[in-house]
Amino acid sequence: MNDRFHYDALVDDALRGVVRRVLRQVGDKGLPGSHHFYISFRSTDPGVRLPDYLRAKYPEEMTIVLQHQYWDLIIAEDFFEVTVSFNKQQERIKVPFAALSAFVDPSVRFGLHQRRARRNQGRRRRDAGRNAGKACRSGVQDRQARQLPKEVDEPPDLRF
């Protein structure tokens, strides 16, 4: 069977649009209530801009947490930029939406996970998620602990 509509690509683009729209609202009005985001992305994808020491520390994937210590969130059609604090040092990063591997808002048990990452990680994702609640609330987390915050046992089965 030949999928001439490329449904996977259409769904992926729509789900990235959800993240774009949420981040635009946060950029305009700030984070409401207890909302906060774990945003994971592939650090080697084209267009990702990171300081060299962060790229060396997280050569494949990293997660940032937008909660208290982030500044100057800018949302474009294809990417977002934000300044976040890493060990009390502010750094500007740029992330294309196409580089996203996960977006989680544990305050409402919502999560999007990139299909390829879920297929490859399987059960490890749930196990790692149990430890993610110990991660920092701003900046970056270790790759194994980044996938799901402790508050999120299993988000809806939404993928991008």
Total domain count for the chain? Answer: 1
Does residue 130 contact residue 150 with C-beta atoms inside 8 Å? yes
Range of the domain at 85: 7-159
- The answer as to whether 2 is a domain residue is no
pLDDT value, residue 114: 75
Query: pLDDT tens, 72-110?
Result: 999 999 999 999 998 889 999 999 999 999 999 988 888
Query: pLDDT tens, 11-28?
Result: 888 888 899 999 999 999
- The answer as to whether 45 is a domain residue is yes
- The answer as to whether 86 is a domain residue is yes
Average pLDDT over residues 53-68: 92
pLDDT value, residue 23: 94
CATH number at residue 134: 2.30.30.220
- The answer as to whether 18 is a domain residue is yes
- The answer as to whether 52 is a domain residue is yes
